[in-house]
Amino acid sequence: MFNKDTLRKRVEKFQKSMRESKIEASNIRTLSSFMYFTGIKWLRPSLMIPIEGEPTAFVIEQEAEEFLSKTWIKDVVTYRRVEDLMKGITGWIRDHNCKIIGFDYSVERDSYVAFFELFKTLNPKIEVRNVHGMIMNLRMIKDYDEIEMIKKASKIAEIGLDKALNSISIGVSELDIAAEAIYYMMKAGSESPHAYVNAGPNPRAHAEPRNDVKVRNNCAITVVVSAD
């Protein structure tokens, strides 16, 4: 787990950037940035970071207790439906009298951009700015905790690659090879491992493993793995 003080310093550095850009609060919904500030992975996340003071997390009602037990964030607003989340964020902005709001525009595993566009439609008087670049400037410089996590992830990736290579034999599918890597990386503690496998004479840039592509005699095989 990430150190509480490390996570708090990340928020404080971001707040300093917000003050310099005259942004009064920022809404963080992309998963990687949410993890960067809270220290945990949480699907359908939403974190409001004011220009000063403590962040507020918006969490589904039945998940609030677990969320509080795993993060340093203590100010939590619960909701039941997606429309309630929008109302909650809009209400938070109104209560804090914010006129300029930052959003982390990025494409990951959820329709964050659709959420932002809906927000702008419902709040035409609020100025919305993209803070993704500001966050990435912070994330480019790794702190001690991140470096230690990267070392651990690298060792897990080594395990996955070794298992994948050892599983290669004539007739085995790309999917079988990837499955070996992902299985052992998950067993080693990686929650979101990934594996690309390309077997044969037709190279693919993003080689999502295919069940119908088999290893043949004298064919080239590329295996790429990643672990968190």
Residue 168 CA to residue 11 CA, distance in Å, equals 46
Is pLDDT of 117 > 80?
no
What percent of the chain clears pLDDT 70, i.e. is strictly above it? 96
Contact (Cβ atoms closer than 8 angstroms) between residue 174 and residue 210: yes
Paired sense of beta strands 25-28 and 100-103, if any: parallel
Cα separations in angstroms, 206 against 198, 200, 223: 9, 14, 11
Q: Supply the DSSP symbol for 215.
A: -
Across 5-14, 40-49, 181-190, least confident range = 40-49
124-150 residues labelled b (16+ CB within 10 A) or e (exposed): eebebeebeebbeebeeeebebeeeee
For range 75-103, the mean pLDDT: 90
For range 52-67, the mean pLDDT: 94
For the question of whether the overall pTM of this predicted structure is more than 0.85, the answer is: no
Read off the pLDDT of residues 119-177 as tens digits, 9 standing for 90 and up: 878 888 889 999 999 999 999 999 888 999 999 999 999 999 999 999 999 999 999 99
Contact (Cβ atoms closer than 8 angstroms) between residue 108 and residue 32: yes
Read off the pLDDT of residues 22-56 as tens digits, 9 standing for 90 and up: 999 999 988 889 999 999 988 877 899 999 999 99
Is the pLDDT higher at 118 or at 17?
17
Q: DSSP letters along 9-42, please?
A: HHHHHHHHHHHHTT--EEEE-SHHHHHHHHSS--
Paired sense of beta strands 127-130 and 194-199, if any: unpaired
Contact (Cβ atoms closer than 8 angstroms) between residue 206 and residue 196: yes
Structural domains in the chain, CATH included, are 4-139 (3.40.350.10), 146-226 (no CATH)
